[in-house]
Amino acid sequence: MIARVTDATVADLVDARVRDPDRIARLARGRRRPEGLTGQTGRLLLVAADHPARGALRAGDEPLAMGDRARLLDRIVRALDRPGVDGFLGTADLVDDLLLLGALEGKVVLGSMNRGGLAGTSFEIDDRFTGYEAAAIDRAGLQGGKMLLRIDPTDPATVRTMEACARAVDDLAAHGLAAMVEPFISHRDDRGRVRNDLTTEAVVRAASVAAGLGGTSARTWLKLPVVDDMESVLAATTLPVVLLGGEVSADQGAQFAAWSKALTSPQVRGMVVGRSLLYPPDGDVEAAVDATVEMIAR
């Protein structure tokens, strides 16, 4: 695996895509795959970077932080190289880049499926499946698919997204693949922006709806935000739960403390963390990753 990603590395990626596009499929077929979804610590730690495909590029106070592909890939590669990091969650463009870079050997990889609800649009809640389908995830040798379900009680488009997520759960299960569902109760604020409701009641309700999607829940995991009363949230389901890392926090110590408390539950089987690890306030990706790995191991 390449140690650092530079502009020259990106040029090489472009050249590889032009000269031999079939190489990506060959690398996917030959990739060393993990035996299961639990990693070196007995829990799962995934680095997530599916935000750009939904037009969400902000990290902290940088509005276009994730819009620099060389910088983003460099941070992902550095995170994946740390001991205890089990894998990656992202869209096909990033998965393909990481295959070309040799960064996914032995890793758990989940493909992000619905990215059509572009951030800041009038159709954001109608979150179409514009990314991976179950068949494509299977062909690429990935371990499962992730989907976002935002439930806005005032937006009729919600039901289309919910139905599509249910079908995706079934399709993934039919291929023997994991389905990771990230549910929220959402609403639009007075400026028309979609906001997720992080009250305990809302997260319990969202988790309950997500757990019931599809004709089987045998391979479904829930990706849930950390809220103050996680005991009540976790009491709402028997499905395995991974914690959502969430936005970059100015108070990383408080954020880690909240994660650490939630991780004491046996229902919590790991974490999926994106911007909080890739764009920490002090810029030290390795330190942020190592602290998270240590916390999960405890």
Tell me whether residue 102 is in a domain. Answer: yes
How much is the average pLDDT of 157-178? Answer: 98
pLDDT-derived band at 247 (thresholds 50, 70, 90) equals low
Q: Is 167 exposed, middle or buried (0-12, 13-18, 19+ CB in 10 A)?
A: middle
Tell me whether residue 2 is in a domain. Answer: no
Given a contact cutoff of 8 angstroms between Cβ atoms, the answer to whether 125 and 186 are in contact is yes
pLDDT, residue 40, reads 67
Query: Would residue 42 be called left, alpha or beta, if left means φ above 0 and alpha means ψ between -120 and 50 degrees?
Result: left
| Side chain identity at residue 195, one-letter code | R
As a whole number of angstroms, the distance between CA 165 and CA 147 comes to 7
pLDDT digits (tens, 9 = 90+) for 118-136: 999 999 999 999 999 999 9
**Could you tell me how many residues make up the chain?**
298
Q: What is the DSSP track for 126-163?
A: S----S--HHHHHHTT-SEEEEEEEE-TT-TTHHHHHH
Tell me whether residue 200 is in a domain. Answer: yes
Mean pLDDT over the full length of the chain: 94
How much is the average pLDDT of 232-244? Answer: 96
How much is the average pLDDT of 220-233? Answer: 95
pLDDT, residue 90, reads 98
Of residues 257 and 56, more confidently modeled? 56
**CATH number for 130:** 3.20.20.70
Alpha-carbon torsion, ordered 248, 250, 251, 253, to 10 deg: 50
Please name which of 136, 208, 141 lies closest in space to residue 168, comparing C-alpha atoms: 136
pLDDT digits (tens, 9 = 90+) for 46-81: 999 999 999 999 998 899 999 999 999 999 999 999
Given a contact cutoff of 8 angstroms between Cβ atoms, the answer to whether 73 and 97 are in contact is yes
Model pTM? 0.95
What is the pairing mode between strands 194-197 and 178-188?
antiparallel
Least confident of 3-17, 53-67, 216-230, 248-262: 248-262
Tell me whether residue 1 is in a domain. Answer: no
For residue 39, is pLDDT > 80?
Answer: no
Tell me whether residue 226 is in a domain. Answer: yes
Tell me whether residue 58 is in a domain. Answer: yes
> What is the number of structural domains in the chain?
1
Give the residue numbers spanning the domain of 189. Answer: 7-297
Helix (H, G, I), strand (E, B) or coil at 13: helix
